[in-house]
Amino acid sequence: MRIENQSVIKDVLSKLFIIPLSTTHLDLVTKIAEYCLGVKGVDLTHQFMTPRSFSVGEYCPRFALEENKLPNLQGKSVYMVLIPSPYKRPEELIERAQIGAFAAKEHYADKVVLLTTEFPHARQDRGWEEDMKAWGEPTTVRAHARLLKAAGVDEAITTHIHSPRIPAYFALEWGLVPKELLPPEAREFPPSELKVPQQVDVKNIQIQEIGKKVFKSISPHAFLADYILHQSSLVNAPYLKEEGKGLVLKALDKGNRGFIDQLYDALFLPNASRIYCNKARTAKNDPNSVSVEVVEISPHFDTLDGKIELYADDGIETGGTQMRAAEWSDGGNKCNATGKSYGVPADRLIYFTHPWLGGEAHLSVQERLVKGIRAREFITTNTRPYINDAQYHRFKEKSTVLRFAELWADALIANELGHDLEARYSGFSCEEEQHEFISSLYNIKRHSWHFLVEGRQKERKEIIFRLREY
């Protein structure tokens, strides 16, 4: 693969200001900066900006600017790094991003970009007029888009967007929706007065594509595929043999289907099969009201019997939906509409990009997952870094964290160079090309290796009890 000229890279790096919005998880922001800048020992709070608060808790960040040299941020691109966690409320982090962007533009920054490992409130993307289950609730994603635009944010970058509708809200609030896509009576309205869905259809693919100019999402499907093929517990198992004949990818709902199809393409296993389900809820975000039905299978799917199924989604909250789906699957994947059963999987892999895991309750949710779901391996990422360190002991024995600091550093440089972030990490022509490019952009963390050993037997050791003379 070709490598960018070093003089071009140096020119990009000279323009960068990488700032943390909080000292929580400062180590991850520092790693991103170190990978990006190619140096060790970066002190972000002294070199770029300190995210300080006054003694009463009021946020008042201060950029590290040279005295008597104004405007100091002219010609600079400011990248604010937002990392969600149970220790800072998402509303606080979003407001910090607004204050940080306003401060940067006030000091003449050329561009301000929000790099958020996971976009807060991404699941709150439907208004009541579109979905009555949202009656009385805000469309929080649109609120964030409007406030970020007003504060001076030029672009936002995230990982594994929850819905393709979200860029459409950014297209709307940035005033990018062409007039021809609006009804005649609304074409002179300012963005804030346009109503969704009556005047702007955020499900319109054209509007969603326009929104990607300012709201950019990195899909991790190629990273998951590379891990499965080269480092996962399946490497020495029979399921990947015969070009993946023993692997079944399962989409639990319509929103999950696109990611499952992308993952299938990135695995380069033509004999792997897919099964598409419809996960229906009678109440919003209530796992007890979930029912699952099979709506479609890939052409060469025959059965789940003796095979391993893979769930792969953007995140897990309480684990209730996954537990219901696994229970249904272990019962034979019987479709209520047709009465047909699709077999019982021999094993299961579960992947989720965002480890929401109940926030502060993440340890108890991990316990629920490992006790309530028959699974060979749980795979997630460090978009919420606390998953690296705080794990329930039995979850540790079956879990792997894909760590993306190198990816986000690479994305930062690529964005400055004007590269398409959606295309950069997908669409490889062959598995070898994908592995060469992707494998250097992530690493893994495991607390245990024993689940990688097929057929491992528990070993007994001699117990030594020493006596003392009293």
Whether residue 122 lies inside any domain: the answer is yes
Whether residue 459 lies inside any domain: the answer is no
pLDDT at 451: 65
Taking 80 as the threshold, does the pLDDT of residue 450 lie above it? no
Residue with tokens 């590379």: 226
Tell me which of 169, 195, 218 is where a domain ends: 218
Q: Please choose, from the candidates 412, 444, 467, 440, the residue with its C-alpha nearest in 3D space to the C-alpha of residue 113.
A: 412
Give the three-class secondary structure for 34. Answer: helix
Same domain as 147, residue 115: yes
- Give the residue-averaged pLDDT of 148-157: 98
Of the pLDDT bands very low, low, confident and very high (cuts 50, 70, 90), residue 337 is confident
282-291 residue pLDDT tens: 555 555 556 7
pLDDT at 69: 67
Give the three-class secondary structure for 102. Answer: helix
171-196 residue pLDDT tens: 999 999 999 999 999 999 999 999 99
Tell me which of 187, 202, 218 is where a domain ends: 218
Taking 70 as the threshold, does the pLDDT of residue 23 lie above it? yes
Of the pLDDT bands very low, low, confident and very high (cuts 50, 70, 90), residue 85 is confident
Tell me which of 201, 218, 235 is where a domain ends: 218
Of the pLDDT bands very low, low, confident and very high (cuts 50, 70, 90), residue 467 is low
Pull the structure tokens for residue 449. 């290796």
Pull the structure tokens for residue 383. 């978009």
- Give the residue-averaged pLDDT of 309-333: 93
Of the pLDDT bands very low, low, confident and very high (cuts 50, 70, 90), residue 135 is confident
Taking 90 as the threshold, does the pLDDT of residue 150 lie above it? yes
Whether residue 211 lies inside any domain: the answer is yes
Taking 80 as the threshold, does the pLDDT of residue 430 lie above it? yes
- Give the residue-averaged pLDDT of 75-85: 95
Same domain as 198, residue 313: no
Give the three-class secondary structure for 442. Answer: coil
pLDDT at 111: 97
CA distances from 99 to 33, 102, 243, 380, 454 (A): 21, 5, 52, 31, 52
224-250 residue pLDDT tens: 999 999 999 999 899 999 999 999 999
Same domain as 86, residue 31: yes
Same domain as 229, residue 206: no
Of residues 362 and 99, the one with the higher pLDDT is 99
Whether residue 409 lies inside any domain: the answer is no
**CATH of residue 175:** 3.40.50.2020
Q: Report pTM.
A: 0.92
Same domain as 186, residue 43: yes
Beta-bridge partners for 379? 351, 400
pLDDT at 459: 59
- Beta strand extents in 170-287 (DSSP E only): 215-218, 247-251, 273-281
Give the three-class secondary structure for 64. Answer: coil
pLDDT at 131: 81
Whether residue 308 lies inside any domain: the answer is yes
Q: Which domain holds residue 362?
A: 221-403+429-448
CA 226/CA 141 separation, integer angstroms:
31
pLDDT at 311: 96
CA distances from 26 to 30, 137, 400, 404, 446 (A): 6, 33, 22, 15, 21
Same domain as 168, residue 148: yes
Q: Please choose, from the candidates 225, 232, 264, the residue with its C-alpha nearest in 3D space to the C-alpha of residue 248.
A: 264
Whether residue 341 lies inside any domain: the answer is yes
pLDDT at 448: 74
CA 339/CA 333 separation, integer angstroms:
10
Same domain as 174, residue 246: no
pLDDT at 285: 54
263-312 residue pLDDT tens: 999 999 999 999 999 876 555 555 555 678 899 999 889 999 999 999 99
The tally of domains found in the chain comes to: 2
Same domain as 246, residue 187: no
Of the pLDDT bands very low, low, confident and very high (cuts 50, 70, 90), residue 68 is low
Same domain as 295, residue 336: yes
Above pLDDT 90, what percent of the chain? 76
pLDDT at 229: 98
Same domain as 178, residue 271: no
211-222 residue pLDDT tens: 999 999 999 999
Q: CA torsion angle for 162, 164, 166, 167 (degrees, to 10)? A: 130
Whether residue 408 lies inside any domain: the answer is no
Of the pLDDT bands very low, low, confident and very high (cuts 50, 70, 90), residue 462 is confident
Average pLDDT along the chain: 91
Span of 59-68, 344-353, 382-391, 456-465 with lowest mean pLDDT: 456-465
Taking 70 as the threshold, does the pLDDT of residue 464 lie above it? no
Same domain as 316, residue 269: yes
Whether residue 147 lies inside any domain: the answer is yes
Above pLDDT 70, what percent of the chain? 93
- Give the residue-averaged pLDDT of 450-464: 58
Same domain as 201, residue 255: no
Of residues 1 and 2, the one with the higher pLDDT is 2
